[in-house]
């Protein structure tokens, strides 16, 4: 293995550890280093690769199949499984290159054209992605689950082509190397009363809460918010800026709970207090809180959970603050917001506008920013995808408005601080919307209109 490829592989593996921790999908694993792989026989490496792939350990699977593919570049199985592993870890460039070696071999790999189309979509090659999604759907029975999934991808790619040719809704700017690093920068939170931008810097070693001060300096918050034993994400402030809500996850990121801390006059934060069982249900995760105060002073907490009774894997729920100081039992936001995939990082603004990110297949990238208006269970219309460049063909999270036209977001889009490593790391961006900034686009298909009905029927039996 060449030194360049060795460095690239290590870099990507470190990124994958962080990216998966963001949504709690990574289990404790032993990642083989290049020295270990170099000493291993091909037979043993092949067995380890197969075992990890079949058990869904995609980080280890990626390492082994990257190694095997470099040793045997013409082996179609190695290429296919490297592509699948890379795609699950959001290494879209590697996935595209790997699937490109086995495209159209659907006699051996029946789903290869679908996954090739998905990887092409995530690197922004929408025209070619559409071609391979159309090839994939030809093999499926109309009305089947797989057929419908591909149809939703085709809808998203078609919309992406339309958006790519239309005028942009505004500008997005990387905040630069003074804030962004080769690690992940996530979860921006701006406190206007003291002009401080808080954000999370995350790596495989843990997370650190940092702050961009009014004088332009960047400092660590420190204390309980700088640890290798936990991960913090999803910071949000109360309306008066006196409290900050956030989620704290274990080191693997697979169990998260929501906490609240007090904010002092100098912007420092107290150690957190975990919210009660209405929010933090035992045996489930709760993350990405967003607290709002409605007219009359009533507080509502929107957040993400995998608790039972949802529509997909991660849904957005809400709880209200009761007179006894406890949070009520969670209520699902419903099928106008949630889908059969993942909804994360909600933000609710004063004009009753909800923004969140979702990886539903009819989007234009991986995770895309959506918006709708309403509150709690009363939403005026189905969630709609925002235009470019707010969304990209990569992953876009934590859309955080500071006013009607400006704000921050997190993205791993091409051109970030990591330089040549496409889609490697999440950076913080600022955005500004022009007059067409509200030019949002409906991308969900007719099938999604029945989500609420299906969900209601489930609750009847």
Ranking 194-203, 226-235, 315-324 by mean pLDDT, the lowest is 226-235
Band (pLDDT 50/70/90 cuts) for residue 233 is confident
Q: Which residue, chain included where needed, has tokens 């071609």?
A: 131
pLDDT, residue 419, reads 56
pLDDT, residue 432, reads 93
pLDDT, residue 264, reads 85
CATH number assigned to the domain with residue range 3-165, chosen from the 4 options 3.40.1010.10, 1.10.1660.10, 1.25.40.10, 1.10.260.40: 1.25.40.10
pLDDT 10s digits, 154-170: 999 998 888 766 657 78
**What's the average model confidence in pLDDT over 384-388?**
90
String of DSSP letters for 379-437: ESS--EE--TTTS-SS-EEEEEESSSSEEEEEE--TT-TTTTSTT-S-EEEEEEE-TTT
pTM to 2 decimal places: 0.83
Round the average pLDDT of the chain to a whole number and report it. Answer: 84
pLDDT, residue 196, reads 86
Instruction: Tell me, rounded to whole angstroms, the distance of Cα 28 from its chain centroid.
Output: 20
pLDDT, residue 367, reads 95
pLDDT 10s digits, 26-83: 333 456 777 788 888 999 999 999 999 999 999 999 999 999 999 999 999 999 999 9
Q: What whole-number distance in Å separates Cα of residue 428 and Cα of residue 409?
A: 6
Highest mean pLDDT among 74-88, 204-218, 406-420, 433-447: 74-88
Share of the chain above pLDDT 90, in %: 57
Tell which wins on pLDDT, 237 or 81.
Answer: 81
The residues, any chain, with a CB within 8 Å of residue 395's CB and separated by 6 or more, are 90, 357, 359, 365, 366, 367, 411, 412, 413, 423, 426
- Topology of domain 170-460, per CATH? Neuraminidase (2.120.10)
- The two domains 3-165 and 170-460 share their CATH topology (first three levels equal): no
Share of the chain above pLDDT 70, in %: 84
Q: What whole-number distance in Å separates Cα of residue 451 and Cα of residue 339?
A: 7
**358-381 core/surface letters (b: 16 or more CB in 10 A; e: else):** bbbbbbbbbbbbbbbebbeeebee
The residues, any chain, with a CB within 8 Å of residue 39's CB and separated by 6 or more, are none
pLDDT 10s digits, 77-136: 999 999 999 999 889 999 999 999 999 998 999 999 999 999 999 999 999 999 999 999
Closest CA to 343 of 381, 380, 365, 370: 370
Q: What whole-number distance in Å separates Cα of residue 378 and Cα of residue 14?
A: 41
Residue 262 has pLDDT above 50, yes or no: yes
Residue 452 has pLDDT above 50, yes or no: no
pLDDT, residue 457, reads 35
pLDDT, residue 166, reads 63
pLDDT, residue 271, reads 84
| Domain parsing of the chain, residue ranges | 3-165, 170-460
Ranking 177-186, 323-332, 418-427 by mean pLDDT, the lowest is 418-427
Ranking 105-109, 188-192, 324-328, 339-343 by mean pLDDT, the lowest is 188-192
**What's the average model confidence in pLDDT over 3-8?**
41
pLDDT 10s digits, 169-183: 789 999 998 899 988
pLDDT, residue 445, reads 36
């Amino acid at each position: 293995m060449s030194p360049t490829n060795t460095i690239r592989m290590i870099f990507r593996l470190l990124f994958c550890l962080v990216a998966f921790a963001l949504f709690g999908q990574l289990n404790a694993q032993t990642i083989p280093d290049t020295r270990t792989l170099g000493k291993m026989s091909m037979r043993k490496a092949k067995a380890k690769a197969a075992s990890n792939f079949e058990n869904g350990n995609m980080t280890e699977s990626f390492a082994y199949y990257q190694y095997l593919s470099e040793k045997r570049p013409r082996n179609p199985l190695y290429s296919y499984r490297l592509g699948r592993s890379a795609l699950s870890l959001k290494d879209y460039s590697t996935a595209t290159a790997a699937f490109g070696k086995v495209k159209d071999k659907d006699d051996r790999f029946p789903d290869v054209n679908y996954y090739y189309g998905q990887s092409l979509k995530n690197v922004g090659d929408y025209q070619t992605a559409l071609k391979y999604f159309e090839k994939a759907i030809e093999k499926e029975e109309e009305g089947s689950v797989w057929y419908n999934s591909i149809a939703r991808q085709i809808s998203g790619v078609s919309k992406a082509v339309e958006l790519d040719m239309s005028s942009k809704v505004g500008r997005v700017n990387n905040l630069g190397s003074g804030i962004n690093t080769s690690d992940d920068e996530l979860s921006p939170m701006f406190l206007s009363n003291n002009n401080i931008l808080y954000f999370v810097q995350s790596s495989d070693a843990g997370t650190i809460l940092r702050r961009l001060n009014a004088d332009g300096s960047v400092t660590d918050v420190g204390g309980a918010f700088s640890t290798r034993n936990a991960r913090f994400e999803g910071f949000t402030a109360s309306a008066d800026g006196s409290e900050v809500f956030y989620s704290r996850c274990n080191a693997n990121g697979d169990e998260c709970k929501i906490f609240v801390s007090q904010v002092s006059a100098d912007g420092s934060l107290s150690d957190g207090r975990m919210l009660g069982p209405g929010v933090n249900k035992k045996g489930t995760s709760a993350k990405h809180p967003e607290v709002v105060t409605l007219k009359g002073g009533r507080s509502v907490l929107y957040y993400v959970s995998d608790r039972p009774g949802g529509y997909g894997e991660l849904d957005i729920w809400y709880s209200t603050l009761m007179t006894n100081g406890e949070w009520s039992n969670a209520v699902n936001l419903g099928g106008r917001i949630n889908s059969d995939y993942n909804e994360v990082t909600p933000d609710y603004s004063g004009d009753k506008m909800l923004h969140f990110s979702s990886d539903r297949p009819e989007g234009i990238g991986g995770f895309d920013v959506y918006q709708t208006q309403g509150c709690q269970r009363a939403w005026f219309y189905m969630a709609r995808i925002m235009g470019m460049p707010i969304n990209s063909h990569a992953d876009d999270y934590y859309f955080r408005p500071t006013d009607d036209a400006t704000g921050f977001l997190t993205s791993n889009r091409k051109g970030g601080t990591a330089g040549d490593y496409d889609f490697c790391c999440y950076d913080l961006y600022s955005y500004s919307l022009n007059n067409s900034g509200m030019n949002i686009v409906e991308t969900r298909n007719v099938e999604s209109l029945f989500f609420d009905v299906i969900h209601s029927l489930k609750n009847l039996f």
